[in-house]
Homo-oligomer: A and B are copies of this chain.
Amino acid sequence: MAFTPSLNPHVSTDCVIFGFSQETLRLLLIRRNIPNRLTDVNDIHYALPGDLVKDDENLNNAANRVLAELTGLKGIYLTQFQTFGDPLRIAKAKDRAWLESVRQDPDARVITVAYMALIDSQKVVLQPGSFSQEAVWIPIHEVPELAFDHNEIYEQALAALKERIQLQPIGFELLPEKFTMGELQSLYETILERDLDKRNFRRKMLNSGIISPLAEKQIGVSNKPARFYIFNRDFAQNNPSAIYNLRMDGSFTLFN
C-alpha cells in the first residue's frame, strides 16, 4: 500500500518565562553560539525555550517538561496563552543558516502553543544546557532580536501578563514566600508601568485579606526594617477576585 507522506505540521511549545529581581522584570532566554558560515564569526542567537510536543505527551506536560529541563523546577505557575501557526512563521526566520544546520526540512511548518510561566527567580538554579545552549535572564527592556517570531510571542505574553495581573493574584508567583510590601508594590508598578500610591496600595492589599503579616522583619538593612508578608494561597483560591475589592454582588475594582 502506497504511503503518502503526511504534510501535518510539527507542534511545539514555547515558554515565555518571567522572573523578577532587582526591581526588574526579566525573561529567561536560551542563548546559542552558532558559527556563521559567511562571516566566520560566532553569531549569538537568542530564543524562547521550547521543544516539539512528544507523541504521548499533552500540551501542558510538554511545557512543564521544557520548564523543568531548564530550571529544575516543577509545580510552577504555567499557563497557556496563545497558539501561533502562521504557515511561514518558521520559513521567514532570519537565521536561516542556523535553521538549515539544525533541521532536515527548514521550511517545515511548526505550530507552537505558547505558555507563560511566572517564577521566583531566586529559586532557579539554571541547569547546565544541553548542546551549546545556555539560559540567561534578560531584563525585559533589553530583549534582543529573537529567533523566528519569538519577539511577537514574547510581546503577546507580556501583554497577557499585564492583563491577567489585573484580574488574578498571580504577582505573588514572581516573589519569594516572604516578601515586603515594598517589593510587592514595586512588582506591580513594574508590570503595570505606572506609579502607585504607597498608602493606598497598602490599604487595599491589607483590606483584601490576600496577604498576612509575619512577625519577622528584615535584618541588616540600613533603614527601618520592613515587615515580611505571605500570600494566602488558599484564601485567594476561595476568593478569586479578593485583591480587587470584590463586592457582594460580584463586581470589583482594580488597583488605583
Contacts and interface: CB of A to CB of B under 8 A. Distances in A.
Bin chain A's interface residue count: 35 or more
A3 B5 contact: yes
Nearest to A248: B256
A247 B200 CA distance: 15
Interface stretch (A51-59, A170-178, A210-218): A51-59
30 contacts: A3-B3, A3-B5, A5-B6, A6-B6, A6-B8, A7-B55, A8-B8, A8-B10, A9-B11, A9-B53, A11-B11, A11-B111, A53-B85, A55-B109, A58-B87, A59-B83, A59-B86, A59-B111, A80-B82, A83-B113, A111-B111, A167-B167, A192-B250, A249-B256, A250-B254, A250-B256, A251-B253, A251-B256, A252-B254, A253-B254
Interface of A: 3, 5-11, 53, 55-59, 80, 82-87, 109, 111, 113, 163, 167, 192, 194, 247, 249-256
A194 B253 contact: no
Contacts of A249: 194, 256
A11 B85 contact: yes
A23 B110 CA distance: 43
A90 to B, nearest CB: 13
Q: Secondary structure at chain A's binding surface: helix, strand, loop or mixed? A: loop
Contacts of A86: 58-59
